[in-house]
Amino acid sequence: KAAGRGCFRYYEPEMNAHAQLRRLLQLDLQRALKANEFVLHYQPQVDLRTGGVTGFEALLRWHHPERGLITPERFIPLAEETRAIVPLGEWVLRQACAEASRWPGGQKVAVNLSPIQFAHGHLPSMVATALRLSGLAPARLELEITEMVLLSDTEATLAALHELQALGVSIALDDFGTGYASLGYLQRFPFDRVKIDRSFIRRLGHSRESDAIVRSVIELCAAINMATTAEGVETEEQCRILRAGGCTAAQGYLFGRPSATIDAAALQQS
């Protein structure tokens, strides 16, 4: 009993401080959207056969006036809890489409979607509006979803994905290999592309298992007409192994970090 009480006293202030910080950030998200504190950084996506930059992934950043630059892993879960991710995600879509519509090289833009946007966002009409307002050709927009999107309400999700593809946008499965039941999803959902998670790419060339897994995923995807993107490519050796295995595209620090300004040369190519 005494120990229990001791634990209670020890943890309570800490939990409260943590909960308070979360609450502050949650309230602040709504203010920040109005105050224009969010920006998109762009990371190049490279075609491994030609070496050309074929697109950029939009990655959200929060320039907080007091806390500085906050990365998405810290605030997106909070925004999902309060559903602030719905208006925030809509801002991301519109901003990414508007910016991409001005890229002279006509590259694609990839936008990440949260599961909450599927459940509460009337997503297909939100996407159609972003395309219409920006004038971006639908074929230049790729939407990235994770397995988390597929876990709940399968029928509604499948219908939304079909509606999105009917608009002419493509769908990529992000972080492949980190969740469960992945193979079943490949059969059931109409992905255009599979992004192989960084955790597998990191070990390429140092683990025979990783080499074999990545090679098999690439072959499997090719056989069912899905393109593959390797995430988090940092070394020439990883790049060489991926190219030899037939991987179609790659993204990672080797080719460029996410950045607020895109290299003009990269924009002209393709």
Interface with ligand C2E (CB under 6 A): 43, 59-60, 71-73, 76, 89, 92, 112-114, 144, 174-175, 231-234, 251-253, 258
Sequence-distant (≥ 6) Cβ neighbours of residue 48 within 8 angstroms: 239, 242, 243, 247, 248, 249, 250
Least distance (Å) from ligand C2E to the CB of residue 161? Answer: 16
Q: Which helix (H) or strand (E) holds 145?
A: strand 141-145
> How far apart are CB 102 and ligand C2E at their closest, in Å?
19
76 binds, among Mg ion, ligand C2E, none (CB under 5 to 8 A by kind): ligand C2E
3-state secondary structure of 190: coil
Cβ contacts of 248 within 8 Å, gap of 6 or more: 47, 48, 49, 227, 228, 229
Q: Which is nearer to Mg ion, 80 or 144 (CB)?
A: 144
> Which residue number, 1 or 44, has a Cβ lying nearer to ligand C2E?
44
Q: Are 129 and 100 in contact (CB under 8 A)?
A: no
Residue type, 103: W
Residue 252 interacts, among ligand C2E, Mg ion, none and using kind-specific CB cut-offs from 5 to 8 Å, with ligand C2E
Q: What is the DSSP letter of 138?
A: G
Residues that bind Mg ion (CB under 5 A): 112, 144, 174-175, 231
For ligand C2E, the closer of residues 118 and 189 by Cβ is 118
Question: In angstroms, what is the minimal distance from the CB of 11 to Mg ion?
Answer: 30
Cα distances from 62 to residues 67, 80, 87, 152, in angstroms, run 9, 15, 15, 29
* Cβ at position 127, least distance to Mg ion in Å: 16
Q: How near is the Cβ of 9 to ligand C2E at its closest, in Å?
A: 36
